[in-house]
Amino acid sequence: MIVAFACDHAGFPLREAVIDAIREAGHQVLDLGTDSLIPVDYPDMAEKAGKALQSGQAARAVVLCGSGVGACIAANKMRGVYAGLCHDTYSAHQGVEHDNMNMLCLGGRIIGVELAREIVKSFLKAEYSGEERHARRVEKIKKIENSQ
């Protein structure tokens, strides 16, 4: 699977650990930057990753900013992008299994390297269950999205 990766300057300190975790999980990385501590705006980075999902360039995405909140808000404005802010492994896999989450947002100033690695691996290992109750709820989300 191809996984888009993007971060702002606040997420940059976790960059290499997250990219390594994606590769260790057996996936390819579509690296969308940033590649330094020079300030960049998190909405721009979330949008790059979201566009990779929308175009089919990537099946999933991981985006980092300082808290993860801003990137998550920005990404969820994009049609077909279902981003979740997760700072634990349960939410990372459950968001995929129940909610069909396709973008993981992390806070580079909130969690450490090892936890970030575990969360990313949990997110990437998970698969959407498609169970009737989950599918019904995901369809309701899509209906809200399409009514705006």
Active site residues: 65, 98
Distance (Å, whole) CA 6 – CA 105: 10
- The backbone torsions φ and ψ at residue 27, rounded to the nearest 5 degrees and listed phi first, read -115, 160
Helices 15-24 and 113-125 meet at what angle, rounded to 10? 40
Q: Which H helix or E strand runs over 24?
A: helix 15-24
Q: Judge contact between 83 and 123, C-beta under 8 A.
A: no
- Those residues whose C-beta lies under 8 Å from the C-beta of residue 121, and which sit 6 or more positions away, are 21, 24, 25
Nearest to 3 by CA among 40, 14, 17, 19: 19
